[in-house]
Amino acid sequence: MNAFNTLPIENPTFANENSLPIAVKDIFCEVGIRTTASSKMLENFVPPYESTVTENMKKAGFVSFGKTNMDEFAMGWSGENSAFGPAKNPWDPTRIPGWSSSGSAVAVAAGLVPAALGTDTGGSIRQPASMCGIVGFKPTYGRNSRYGVMAMASSLDTPGYFTRTVRDAGLLYEATAAHDSRDSTSLTEKVSIDESIWNRTDLKWVRIGVPKEYFIEGIDSGVRSAIDNAIAKIREMWAEVIDISLPHTEHGVSVYYTVCPAEVASNLARYDGIRFGTLSGNGNNIVENRSEGLGSEIQRRSLVGSYVLSSGFYDAYYKKATAVRELIRNDFTNAFTQVDVIVTPTAPTVAWKIGSKWADPLALYLEDIFTLPASLAGVPGLTVPVWYATPKDDSSVDLPVGMQILGPILWEEKILMVGHVLEQAMKEVVDSKKPKVF
Phi, psi of 247, rounded to the nearest 5 degrees: -60, -25
Closest CA to 200 of 423, 431, 422, 421: 421
179-207 burial, b if ≥16 CB within 10 A, otherwise e?
Answer: ebeebeebbeeebebeeebbeeeebeebb
**Which among 124, 130, 186, 280 is annotated as catalytic?**
124
77-107 burial, b if ≥16 CB within 10 A, otherwise e?
Answer: bbbbbbbbebbbbbbbbebbbbbbbbbbbbb
Closest CA to 158 of 186, 116, 188, 192: 186
- The CA distance from 87 to 419, in Å, is 27
Cβ neighbours of residue 323 under 8 Å, at least 6 residues apart?
A: none
CB of 70 within 8 A of CB of 23? no
Closest CA to 434 of 140, 125, 134, 103: 134
DSSP string, 222-283: HHHHHHHHHHHHHHHTT-EEEEE--TTGGGHHHHHHHHHHHHHHHHGGGBSSSSBS---TTS
38 noted as active-site residue: no
25 noted as active-site residue: yes
In Å, what is the CA distance from 369 to each residue of 27, 42, 262, 373? 24, 31, 19, 8
19 noted as active-site residue: no
Nearest 5°: CA angle at 45, between 44 and 50?
150
Closest CA to 295 of 85, 98, 107: 85
Q: Is 323 helix (H, G, I), strand (E, B) or coil?
A: helix
- The CA distance from 414 to 239, in Å, is 13
**Which among 39, 51, 64, 100 is annotated as catalytic?**
100
User: Residue 131 belongs to what H/E stretch?
Assistant: helix 126-132
In Å, what is the CA distance from 93 to each residue of 1, 70, 437? 7, 16, 9
CB of 207 within 8 A of CB of 340? yes
Closest CA to 122 of 74, 164, 162, 167: 74
CB atoms within 10 A of CB 28: 27
User: Residue 306 belongs to what H/E stretch?
Assistant: helix 296-308
| DSSP β-bridge partners for residue 211 | 244
Catalytic residues: 25, 100, 124
